[in-house]
Amino acid sequence: MTKAVVKIGGKQFVVAEKETLMVDLLPEGTKELTLDALLVIDGDKTTVGTPTVKDVKVTAKVLEEEVKGDKVLYIRYKAKKRVHKVNGHRQKYSKIEITSIK
């Protein structure tokens, strides 16, 4: 099974074919991605790119846009002052599926 390391939105992911990922929100209207591989693992053989591996492309298709992630709560609190405030945030993601590693 071939795996590759790709960079999407400033983050690196280890991906394999037919795998689904939640990545940072992609620009609207994006249907398919072609990514360069930074590293390729094919069984016992590992190929490291400088900075990318030549002749290896990873293609992915966007399944869903603007999927909301889990709610993250954060609290601002000051001891002995009766000051506290609770805020929340839900990050938006894009759901993609890796179609091929060539």
34-64, pLDDT tens digit by residue?
999 999 999 999 999 999 999 999 999 999 9
The residue extents of the domains of the chain are: 2-101
Mean pLDDT of the chain: 96
Task: State both tokens at 68.
Answer: 């909301």
Give the integer Cα–Cα distance in Å for 32 and 90: 25
For residue 91, which amino acid is it?
A: Q
How many separate helices (H) and strands (E) can be counted in the chain? 0, 7
What pairing do the DSSP bridges indicate for beta strands 83-101 and 45-48? unpaired
pLDDT tier at 66, thresholds 50, 70, 90: very high
Does residue 1 register a pLDDT over 90?
no
